[in-house]
């Protein structure tokens, strides 16, 4: 069984964002694999270790530097990579078209992705890819079992846990609680350098949406901070909750 994993390169979650010429500046920003996609890569590698998957292919659409995200996934244990070179201003539609075209050529049995990207994530791309490829999609999974041409997925849904069954091939998107991604070993990092990565140009697709502006939200002003005996501050906090916030007490 061949598994393709979609990995997006994103800013480190600690990154401080600055705008330059009205755009988000990536100067000096540490780039990582989107945390959800890292979990998807780990999930794919575990499927291979269990003998369910035979090959794990990682795919990323973006600028040349997205190669680093691919190499990291290879160092974790993926077998090969595909870099789809595309303007990072491509919207969810254009990215899905480009990724789906490249995935189609691989004819995979399973496509894994993250359920949202931690940067400008929209929770759209995997669903759109599934639609383009005519495959079912299951979202926000925390467990998966594959047997008899079917994937049985446990998802974190609103207000509960849902178990969904779909035929494979299918597109499946991860929740972070699915697994704990491994750190690449030194050996893995060395091996990754020799693993094949194909670079292909993105299939042409025009954006369907237009970004009008970026802005930074007004910095939140720190309010009152009290240092005193616990009983004293607790009483004052209670007063504030009653008089300013106007909480209802049961």
Partner 1 sequence: MAGTWVFVEQRDGNIRKVTYEMLSQAKKLGDEVSAVVFGKGVEALAPEFAKFGAEKVYVVEDDVFAAYNTGAYVAQIIAMINEFKPNAVFFAHSFNGRDFASRLAQKLDIGLATDAIGVELSAGKGVFTRSIYAGKVLTKVEITTSPVLATIRPGVFEVADGAAAGAVVKPAVAAAAGDVYQTVKSFVATVSARPELNEAAVVVSGGRGCKGPEGIALVEQLADMLGAAVGGSRASIDSGWLGHELQVGQTGKVVNPNLYIAAGISGAIQHLAGMSSSKFIAAINTDTEAPIFNVSDYGVVADLFKVIPTLMSELKK
Ligand X SMILES: Cc1cc2nc3c(=O)[nH]c(=O)nc-3n(C[C@H](O)[C@H](O)[C@H](O)COP(=O)(O)OP(=O)(O)OC[C@H]3O[C@@H](n4cnc5c(N)ncnc54)[C@H](O)[C@@H]3O)c2cc1C
User: Residue 167's closest CA among 125, 137, 139?
Assistant: 137
User: Which residue in the set 142, 143, 189, 203 belongs to the binding site for partner 1 (CB under 8 A)?
Assistant: 142
Q: How far is CA 229 from the centre of its chain?
A: 45
Helix (H) or strand (E) holding 42: helix 35-49
Report the relative pairing of strands 80-85 and 197-201 from DSSP bridges.
Answer: parallel
Q: Is 70 helix (H, G, I), strand (E, B) or coil?
A: helix
228 touches partner 1 by CB under 8 A: yes
Does residue 169 have a cis peptide bond before it, meaning omega lies within 30 degrees of 0? yes
Q: Show contacts with ligand AMP in window 125-154 (CB under 6 A).
A: 125-126
Q: In sequence order, what DSSP letters do the residues of 150-174 get, joined into one string?
A: EEEEEEEETTEEEEEEEESS-EEEE
- Whole-angstrom Cα distance, residue 129 to residue 134? 8
Q: Pick from 52, 63, 67, 132 the residue near partner 1 by CB under 8 A.
A: 132
**Binds ligand X (CB under 6 A): choice among 24, 26, 35, 106:** 35
Does 242 contact partner 1 by CB under 8 A?
A: yes
Residue whose tokens read 């929770």: 123
Residues 35-64 that bind partner 1 (CB under 8 A): 35-36
Could you tell which of partner 1, ligand X, ligand AMP, none binds residue 139, using a CB distance below 5 to 8 A set by kind? Answer: partner 1
The span of 41-49, 69-77, 154-162, 187-195 binding partner 1 (CB under 8 A) equals: 154-162
Q: Which residues bind ligand X (CB under 6 A)?
A: 13, 35
Q: Which residues bind ligand AMP (CB under 6 A)?
A: 6-8, 34, 36-37, 60-62, 92, 95, 99, 113-114, 116-117, 121-126
């Amino acid at each position: 069984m061949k598994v393709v994993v979609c990995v997006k390169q994103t800013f480190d979650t600690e990154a401080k964002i600055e705008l330059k010429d009205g755009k988000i500046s990536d100067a000096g920003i540490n780039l990582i694999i989107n945390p959800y996609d890292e979990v998807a890569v780990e999930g794919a590698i575990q499927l291979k270790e269990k003998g369910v998957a035979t090959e794990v292919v990682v795919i990323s659409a973006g600028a040349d530097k997205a190669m680093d995200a691919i190499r990291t996934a290879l160092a974790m244990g993926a077998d090969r990579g595909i870099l789809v070179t595309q303007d990072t201003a491509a919207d969810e539609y254009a990215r899905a078209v480009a990724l789906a075209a490249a995935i189609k050529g691989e004819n995979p049995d399973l496509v894994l992705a993250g359920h949202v990207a931690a940067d400008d994530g929209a929770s759209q791309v995997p669903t759109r890819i599934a639609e383009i490829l005519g495959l079912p999609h299951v979202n926000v999974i925390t467990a998966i079992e594959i047997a008899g041409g079917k994937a049985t997925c446990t998802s974190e849904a609103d207000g509960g846990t849902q178990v969904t069954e779909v035929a494979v091939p299918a597109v499946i998107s991860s929740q972070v609680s699915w697994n704990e991604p491994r750190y690449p070993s030194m050996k893995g990092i060395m091996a990754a350098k020799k693993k094949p990565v194909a670079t292909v140009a993105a299939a042409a697709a025009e954006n369907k949406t237009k970004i009008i502006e970026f802005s930074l939200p007004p910095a939140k002003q720190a309010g009152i901070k009290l240092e005193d005996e616990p009983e004293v501050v607790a009483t004052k906090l209670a007063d504030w909750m009653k008089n300013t916030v106007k909480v209802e007490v049961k």
